[in-house]
Amino acid sequence: MSNHKLSMTIDGLTVTMTRKFDAPRDLVWKANTDPALMAQWWGQRGSTTIIDKLDLRPGGEWRFVQKSPDGAEYGFRGEYQEVVPPERFTTTFEFEGMPGHILVETFSFTETNGITTLTTVATYDSQEDLDGMVGTGMEAGAAESYDRLDEFLAKQ
C-alpha cells in the first residue's frame, strides 16, 4: 500500500478531496466505474457493498447499498451528468436516509509518471447540507474507502 493520504478542503459550499494512487489512470478509472471492481473496495471496512445499478452514461442512474456487519443497510444513489472516459465524470449524490439533499460531484483522474491523482469536487446546495455531510464523518469515510481502493489497486 502507498503512503498517499487524502486531503480535503472546504471553500464555501464546495468540498475538494484529493488522493494519489500508485497505479495508471486507466486502472483507477476502471476501479471507479466497473461495478464488479467497485464492490471490492467502495465503503467502510467490514461492510459489504452491493452495486444495484451503475449505468455509466449521461442520464444513467447508479445505486449502491452498503451493508454493515450488524445487517443495517444504507442506500446511496444518483445520476450521471457527464462521462468523459478516462478523464472525469460528474454525478449527483443522494444518501437515501436523507432524501432530497442532493449534491453534485465531479471525479477527475490525472496521471503523471504512473501516479494517478483522483480529485473529487462536491458542490452542496446549502451550508446545512454541507455541515450535515461533514458531520457524518465524510472525510474519515472517504479516507477509509480510498485506502481500500489503494489496497485493491496494489493487487492488480
Interval 122-129 mean pLDDT: 94
Q: Encode pLDDT of 81-116 as tens digits.
A: 999 999 999 999 999 988 999 999 999 999 999 999
Sheet containing strand 88-95, edge to edge, reads 7-11, 14-21, 115-123, 102-112, 88-95, 73-84, 61-67, 48-54
Count of structural domains, the chain: 1
What one-letter code names the amino acid at 142?
A
> If you average pLDDT over residues 129-152, what whole number do you get?
91
CATH number for the domain that contains residue 135: 3.30.530.20
Backbone φ and ψ of 88, nearest 5°: -165, 160
Please check whether residue 96 lies inside any domain of the structure: yes
pLDDT for residue 132 is more than 70: yes
Alpha helices in the chain (DSSP H): 25-33, 35-38, 127-135, 138-154
pLDDT value at position 30?
98
Structural domain boundaries, residue 88: 7-42+81-154
Q: pLDDT class for 1, splitting at 50, 70, 90?
A: low
